[in-house]
């Protein structure tokens, strides 16, 4: 979760920070963490970190109604894989593919890479439909301390130019990873293809990994035949002490290399600043990105300075400059 600045990106960041307060931020702000969004028919559905995966619905992206969580009780496989797991599920990712909704989710022990990414599916997101039923596929990827130098959380599904599915994920440790999935999305494809797509310099502190390695929440957004990798730098989840910020790089292939505006590779710590906190928001991050009715949106959470650093939903329209880099609506 962090950022890298040059003179040009500093200028952009100053404008972007103002954008958090712009009218393009939709109201009211519900309390969520790690939000992702999708539209079915005329309804938007929001999924977020929470007990059993938090779910909200809205007709206008402004007035949100809380729905029942995806899981009433913790999946048995998750409790076995992560004994400390109590059904508080992190960082989901929602997609529609081949007539079905695919919801990837994270199960983890806090501060450790004892983690798994699971998958649950549904024919519809409308709770009133007779077809509404979540079917848990189970574990897709697992990370184990001492074996893996990566963390199996924060999944995001994207398809390449050939229609092949890829899952990006990762937090701290060795950075953000990418792996190809089977066409049915239910397992890693064989032969296995794994890539590192972004990372930061890492050093050891008295409690292990320290702040300079803080990177997580990959989200790959395809725009004009390029792949844009959004990531979050620095620290989340600390209320008034949160330093979260959003960065981006891009590539011509989904596997990278992803480079920032200055040409620095994200695997070497690169990342052009998109948005950071200010006096009103202690930090902003863990974004997702979508196109609805021809308009691109950035969906993320921020820590509200006016409400004790509570995490709130933020949505902003996203434009693009003449060089093909994302700009928030306030920069028009």
In the residue annotation, 34 being an active-site residue is answered as yes
* Residue that has been written with the tokens 């928001």 in this structure: 281
Cα–Cα distances (Å) from 43 to 47, 63, 121, 148, in that order, read: 13, 11, 18, 40
In the residue annotation, 216 being an active-site residue is answered as yes
Q: Bridge partners of 142?
A: 116
Cα–Cα distances (Å) from 281 to 154, 246, 313, in that order, read: 22, 13, 12
Classified as helix, coil or strand, 176 is strand
Q: Which of 270, 232, 277, 278 is nearest to 249 (CA)?
A: 270
Cα separation, 143 vs 163, in Å, equals 27
Type and span of the H or E element at 78 = helix 76-81
Centre a 10 Å sphere on the Cβ of residue 133 and count the other Cβ atoms it contains: 10
65-67 and 54-58 as β-strands: parallel, antiparallel, unpaired? antiparallel
- Please check whether residue 111 is in contact with residue 71, taking contact to mean a CB–CB distance below 8 angstroms: no
State the catalytic residue, choosing from 34, 93, 234, 260. Answer: 34
State the catalytic residue, choosing from 93, 154, 216, 260. Answer: 216
- Please check whether residue 177 is in contact with residue 192, taking contact to mean a CB–CB distance below 8 angstroms: no
CA 204 to centroid of chain Cα atoms: 26
Q: Bridge partners of 232?
A: 216, 246
- Residues taking part in catalysis: 34, 216
């Amino acid at each position: 979760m962090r950022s890298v600045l040059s003179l040009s990106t500093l200028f952009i960041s100053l404008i972007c920070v103002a954008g958090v307060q712009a009218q393009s931020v939709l109201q009211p702000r519900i309390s969520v963490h790690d939000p992702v969004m999708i539209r079915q028919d005329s309804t938007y559905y929001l999924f977020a970190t929470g007990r059993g995966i938090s779910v909200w619905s809205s007709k206008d992206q402004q007035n949100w109604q809380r729905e029942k969580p995806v899981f009433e009780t913790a999946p048995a496989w998750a409790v076995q894989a992560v004994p400390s797991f109590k059904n508080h599920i992190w960082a989901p990712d929602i997609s529609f593919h081949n007539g079905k909704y695919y919801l990837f989710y994270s199960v983890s022990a806090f501060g450790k890479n004892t983690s798994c990414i699971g998958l649950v599916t549904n024919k519809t997101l409308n709770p009133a439909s007779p077809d509404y039923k979540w079917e848990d596929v189970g574990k897709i990827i697992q990370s184990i301390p001492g074996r893996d130098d990566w963390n199996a959380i924060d999944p995001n599904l994207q398809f390449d130019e050939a229609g092949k599915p890829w899952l990006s994920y990762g937090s701290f440790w060795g950075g953000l990873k990418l792996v190809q999935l089977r066409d049915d999305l239910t397992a890693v494809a064989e032969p296995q293809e794994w890539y590192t797509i972004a990372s930061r310099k890492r050093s050891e502190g008295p409690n292990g990994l320290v702040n300079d390695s803080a990177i997580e929440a990959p989200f790959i957004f395809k725009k004009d035949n390029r792949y844009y990798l959004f990531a979050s730098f620095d620290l989340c989840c600390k209320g008034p002490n949160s330093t979260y910020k959003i960065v981006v790089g891009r590539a011509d292939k989904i596997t990278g290399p992803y480079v920032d505006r200055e040409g620095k590779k994200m695997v070497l710590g690169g990342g052009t600043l998109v948005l950071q906190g200010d006096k009103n928001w202690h930090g902003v991050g863990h974004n997702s990105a979508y196109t609805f009715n021809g308009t691109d949106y950035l969906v993320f959470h921020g820590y509200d300075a006016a409400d004790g650093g509570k995490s709130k939903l933020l949505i902003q329209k996203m434009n693009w400059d003449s060089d093909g880099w994302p700009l928030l609506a306030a920069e028009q």
